[in-house]
Amino acid sequence: MRQTLLVTFITAASAFAQSPVIADSTGLWTMIKGNLIKSAEKMPEENYSFKPVPEVRSFGELVGHVANASYFFCGRVNPEKPPAGNIEKTVSAKADLVKALTAAAAYCDTAFAALNDRSMLETTKMLGRDMTKLGVLNFHNAHSMEHYGNMVTYLRMKGLVPPSSEK
């Protein structure tokens, strides 16, 4: 009887585990969000207005953009509606931007956690076309990595070692 109950429990628990495909995307997101948040924390406040050239975003605007984009992408998957607002254009203090980025990352955590083998294949509208929910979150991962690369450049220009290069 005990053995039957144990097998039943293990079988039921595994039904709620994420598939390896979802787990891979979620694991990548976990790494990316850690690097993004650590970068935002690491850059001194006086460098949040730093722009390598006038035509690009400041470091602070970049942090705000990543937070906005997290709400945009994850809002296509997350059952909870994202908050309204334009963080990039309205928030400038380091503490407020780190807080906004951290909140946006937590919102995305919920979107990743909501995926299962069925829901990951459901489609949603994004950028004028249908895309699977997992595809949207993978696009989000790629976008986040692109901007982490920008952050790395800004950090290095200020003599700082980016989180992914720390020992």
pLDDT digits (tens, 9 = 90+) for 85-118: 999 999 999 999 999 999 999 999 999 999 999 9
Whole-angstrom Cα Rg for the chain: 19
Residue 13 in any domain: the answer is no
Confidence of residue 8 (pLDDT cuts 50, 70, 90): very low
Residue 23 in any domain: the answer is yes
Mean pLDDT of 29-57: 98
Instruction: Tell me the whole-structure pTM to 2 decimals.
Output: 0.88
Residue 134 to residue 112: CA distance in whole angstroms: 8
Report the length, in residues, of the chain: 167
Residue 11 in any domain: the answer is no
Residue 54 in any domain: the answer is yes
Work out how many domains the chain is built from and give that number: 1
Residue 29 in any domain: the answer is yes
Residue 1 in any domain: the answer is no
Residue 141 in any domain: the answer is yes
Residue 7 in any domain: the answer is no
For 7, what's the count of Cα atoms within 13 Å in the CB-facing half-sphere? 4
Enclosing H/E stretch for 15: helix 2-16
CB 57 within 8 A of CB 65: yes
> pLDDT of 114-154, one tens digit each?
999 999 999 999 999 999 999 999 999 999 999 999 999 99
Confidence of residue 9 (pLDDT cuts 50, 70, 90): very low
- Domain of residue 93 covers 19-165
Q: The domain spanning residue 120 has which CATH number?
A: 1.20.120.450
